Structure 1
Amino acid sequence: MREIWPESEQRWFDVSEEVALTGHSKFFEMEHEPTRGLYACNAYRPWDTPERICIVFENISERKQALEQIRQLVNEQRTILDTVMAGICHIKDRKVQWVNPCFEKLFGYEAGEVQGVDTSLFYSDEEDYRRVGRDGYTQLTMGAAYSIEVLMRRKDGTLFWCSLAERAIDPQNQDEGSIWVLHDVTERRRTEEALYNSERKLTEIFRASPQIIAVSTLEDGRFLEANEAFSRLLGYRHEEVIGHTSLELGLWSDNEDRDRLVEFLKTHGQVQNLETRLRRKSGECIDVLLSAAPIVLNGQSCMITLTTDITERKRAADELRESEERFSAVATQAKDGIVLIQDDRLVFCNQAIADMLGYAREEMEGEPFEIHVAPESRELVAGRVHARLRGENPVSVYEARLIRRDGQIIDVELSAGLIQHGGKPTDVGMIRDITERKQAEAALRASEERFKRLVQNSNDIIALVDAHCMQMSLSGPVEAVLG
């Protein structure tokens, strides 16, 4: 031995002495420096030659290296399992064999507290426990992984959503058990639920909105979605629209309008209130305002369009314009003056009233009407105008006095009423110059007064008879003459 292990001579002497004295075998390991090998040694005393010591050597260098590598690997794996941000456990027959610290933290247990417990402890619902046992272990025996999200219970009783992934260590030998990997997905579930509720609300708003909304591809105008208002406006059922292009449905009164819409959208990024005409399923064309914005759905360029039906508005505007044109034509040709008063100012006057007062129309429009009313009539005229604007019903035909540009006072007859003009209540007045009539009436009254005085002072009997020679009245000294 001195020749083989010269550096360990004392060690061999001690071993030999121990075996000789005790009679027991001695197992130990020795390093051989010349070969840098590691040997397993067994020293014993043979039964047939007790005075001798036998030693059996086995080179275990490779085995020790392999064991050391395994030990290092186990330590590395242990470190990974202890630090990974996921709960991991080893399960056999649905009982806990081992868990990592994250598992204990996830469920709120102390180290070693769940060792050997049944996994039913972690489930919030017994049916979930049975389902995992039924479905999960069926998958494991087939060599497949099993995953599920279930509501689980912590030690303190609080519930949380858990993502559970499970795989058998050896599908052919279920006695080896399985490995679970668990994550707390409560926040993700809450976020998904909030997103789902938000999308559902948006969908409900989209479908129920009175605003006409549609989503179509930018390239060819193929409809991906349209709300109920869209169907009501154009007369198509929802299923008749989805998957078809606007050109296939013949929606555009002029197909080039779509090209202009898309080009404008690409150039300016959005379209606001583009006036165009669309065709209903019945063939009727309607006037609309289109607003559009680009969106991307599943990587595809699309656009969302909002449509406003302005057919009735345009029809009303056309009718109003025609009415105003007729009014203007009548007012221009009328012999009587016509004025429209809003907020005490003239918003319209015809040529007749302008001529009546000695102004140009442009000079009068926009001016307060009261500057053309004589001081003695201003309270009367203003009172009637304001009463009508308050919804009262004052006398509509009355007389007043106006002032001409040259300062002359003229008598007029006003016939007034209330209309809507430009969306506001407006006092409309028809004005007739009655100055000559008033002068004639005054002259007639003066003539009648002179005749009356003449008759009363006459010494003759004066009789008034009608065309049938019927006496109407007698005047003069009737009693003196006739007794």
Structure 2
Amino acid sequence: MDSASSKPQVDRRQLQQIVAGLTEGILLADPDGSIVWANETALSIHGINAVEDFGGNPAGFQKRFTLKYRNNHPLLAGQYPLARVQAGEVFRDVIIEVTKPGDDSFHAIHQVRSLVLTDAAEEPQSLVLVIQDVTGRYTAEERFERTFSANPAPAVICRLSDLRYVKVNQGFLEMTGFARDEVIGRSAYEFDVLGGSDKRDQAIEYLNEGRTIPQMESVLRIADGGSKFVIVAGQPIEVGDQDCMLFTFMDLEPRRKAEAALRQTEERFSTAFRLAPVPMTVSALDDMLFLDVNDAFVAATGYQVEEAIARDPSSLELWEDDEAFSQFRDTVESTSSVRNVEMKLRAKNGDMLDCLVSAETVTIHERRCVLCVLQDITERKRSESELIAAIETVMQDTSWFSRTVIEKLAEIRHPTPAGKTGAALDDLSPRELEVLVLMCQGSDDAKIAETLQLSRNTVRNYVAAIYSKIGVNRRSAAIVWARDRGIDRDGHVAPSPRQRRNPRGPATR
């Protein structure tokens, strides 16, 4: 008799040992709702230490814990799982949020199902709640949901079981112009995000197999009836225990428009370059090899396009003064722009052409290049030289003409731009004036350097500064300008009006 009565007790201990080791929480109650036992998992996921902390019965539980559905609606007293199982209801997979009044640090998400254990007469003997803590899963899903919704990159999620879209973010809606309810629930065949791709059949195969879909170009239908070129890729993911495919997109329209605009710009540049009436060249900045020359260059130099391409000016012996071209190149590299530098160009037949050369650095196909424009001034220089020679002949004896006549001749030769005052000798520094006087005496750069004990480069710098100040670009013009302002062939300088008004210099106190 004693052995027979002890057997059920052993069986209960074994059952409790099995239940106690489960990863799910188990809560047992009598048919009247009294909570009689819970395993360690049940206590832990409720943040308590003893079964008494559950409150003893459904009413006490409701005081200790606040339950809400996932839609944030609070459970009524009769909707609490313990009350429902006490009423004899059997349910499964109820998702609830659990908090404690007065304890803001506790928050859990539980998935609950119920069991009713009966005796031999099918009468309720024990009420069971099986509780699983799914806080981590739902928290991760919430983070994913927030990230997915906030991600500016367009994206949709397609459920693999029926190939219907279950999620869409704002980026996709803005890109296509569709409303959310026009996408959610549609099938991948109704709303085809892989249409227009030459790899569509392979992508559909990967979609059905739940495999990663590599990036490919596609054409999306948009709300206004048009289409949009995109890059689409698919990544298998799980959403709520369901296998899905995450499609992400990159809008190609801005890039296509930029490429089209670039092509139009390049076409316009090419047309303008080819038809320009003045000689033009495009060279690589690093080695100055010609990349292209226009028709006017061919006409002016006699070199055909194929003779010039991939060659540099030195190999063609294009410029008379290699040193001047080297300085020109250095200036372009350092300043990216050069304007109206006078240089002599040698045509294929040996003829020399006087040119004003301007250059600007440009980027063509991501390569730094130099665009050069050549203005042929050979005829103009010949005419100017004849005029300068005539003026110099007249000015050999200025006693024949009044100062006013000389100034009129200078004005005709170098008219002062409207709104500007012509430069005067007083605008030159003493050293610049010395260099100009020696120039008027017929000294070249070497003689000036020897006379003033300067280097030739320094003399060139002074000469360039004089040209810039008085607005000329050649030596003969500078000499005419100087003689117009009172420097004779012997280098004597007539006093300026300012000096005549104040012969002793500025007054001092």
Shorter chain as denominator, the TM-score bin is: 0.5 to 0.7
Q: CA deviation at 1:315?
A: 3.9
Q: For the aligned residues, what is the CA RMSD?
A: 5.6
Q: 1:226 aligns with which of 159, 168, 175?
A: 168
- Aligned counterpart, 1:200: 145
Q: Distance in 2 between matches of 1:228 and 1:261?
A: 27
- Aligned counterpart, 1:257: 196
Q: CA 1:273 to 1:424, structure 2 compared with 1: closer, same or farther past 3 Å?
A: farther
8 Å contact kept, 2:355–2:376? yes
Q: CA deviation at 1:399?
A: 2.0
8 Å contact kept, 2:155–2:169? yes
The 5-angstrom pairing of residues 209-224 of structure 1 reads: 209=152, 211-215=153-157, 223-224=165-166
- Aligned counterpart, 1:413: 356
8 Å contact kept, 1:89–1:103? no
SS for the counterpart of 1:385 is helix
8 Å contact kept, 2:298–2:305? yes
Instruction: Write out per-residue CA displacement over residues 200-229 of structure 1, whole angstroms, 9 at most, x where no aligned residue.
Output: 233323xx41x3333457899865443333
- Aligned counterpart, 1:396: 339
Q: CA 1:216 to 1:366, structure 2 compared with 1: closer, same or farther past 3 Å?
A: farther
Q: Distance in 2 between matches of 1:105 and 1:241?
A: 42
SS for the counterpart of 2:65 is helix
Q: Distance in 2 between matches of 1:399 and 1:98?
A: 104
The percent identity for this pair of structures is 18
Q: 1:292 aligns with which of 213, 226, 233?
A: 233
Q: Distance in 2 between matches of 1:304 and 1:104?
A: 38
SS for the counterpart of 2:55 is helix
1:350 matched to 2:291? The reply is no
> How many residues end up aligned between the 2 structures?
366
Q: Distance in 2 between matches of 1:93 and 1:219?
A: 44
Q: CA 1:128 to 1:170, structure 2 compared with 1: closer, same or farther past 3 Å?
A: farther
SS for the counterpart of 2:178 is coil
- Aligned counterpart, 1:3: none
- Aligned counterpart, 2:458: none
- Letter paired with 1:265: A
Q: Distance in 2 between matches of 1:224 and 1:321?
A: 41
Q: CA deviation at 1:261?
A: 4.4
Instruction: Write out per-residue CA displacement over residues 395-430 of structure 1, whole angstroms, 9 at most, x where no aligned residue.
Output: 633323446678876431124456554367754321
Q: CA deviation at 1:103?
A: 8.5
Unaligned runs of 5+ in 1: 1-63, 458-483
Q: CA deviation at 1:289?
A: 2.9
Instruction: Write out per-residue CA displacement over residues 258-279 of structure 1, whole angstroms, 9 at most, x where no aligned residue.
Output: 6x44313256863534264x55
- Aligned counterpart, 1:6: none
Q: CA deviation at 1:431?
A: 0.8
- Aligned counterpart, 2:278: 336
- Letter paired with 1:310: L
Unaligned runs of 5+ in 2: 68-74, 207-211, 401-509
8 Å contact kept, 1:293–1:303? yes
Q: Distance in 1 between matches of 2:97 and 2:162?
A: 45
Q: 2:223 aligns with which of 281, 285, 306?
A: 281
Larger gyration radius, structure 1 or structure 2: 1
8 Å contact kept, 1:212–1:306? yes
- Aligned counterpart, 1:40: none
Q: CA 1:216 to 1:369, structure 2 compared with 1: closer, same or farther past 3 Å?
A: farther
SS for the counterpart of 1:327 is helix
8 Å contact kept, 2:285–2:370? no
Q: CA 1:359 to 1:292, structure 2 compared with 1: closer, same or farther past 3 Å?
A: same
Q: Distance in 2 between matches of 1:74 and 1:163?
A: 31
Q: Distance in 2 between matches of 1:308 and 1:257?
A: 15
Q: Which has the higher contact order (CA 8 A, sep 6+)?
A: 2
Instruction: Write out per-residue CA displacement over residues 436-475 of structure 1, whole angstroms, 9 at most, x where no aligned residue.
Output: 5435544554466568879999xxxxxxxxxxxxxxxxxx
8 Å contact kept, 2:285–2:368? no
SS for the counterpart of 1:377 is helix
Q: Distance in 2 between matches of 1:192 and 1:241?
A: 26
Q: Distance in 1 between matches of 2:328 and 2:41?
A: 91
- Letter paired with 2:10: N
Q: CA deviation at 1:239?
A: 2.0
Q: TM-score w.r.t. structure 2 length?
A: 0.52
Q: 2:63 aligns with which of 93, 105, 126?
A: 126
8 Å contact kept, 1:96–1:118? no
Q: TM-score w.r.t. structure 1 length?
A: 0.54
Q: CA deviation at 1:179?
A: 5.8
- Aligned counterpart, 2:328: 381
- Aligned counterpart, 2:403: none
- Aligned counterpart, 1:191: 136
Q: Distance in 2 between matches of 1:305 and 1:163?
A: 30
1:76 matched to 2:11? The reply is yes
Pick the structure with more strand per residue.
1
Q: CA deviation at 1:334?
A: 3.6
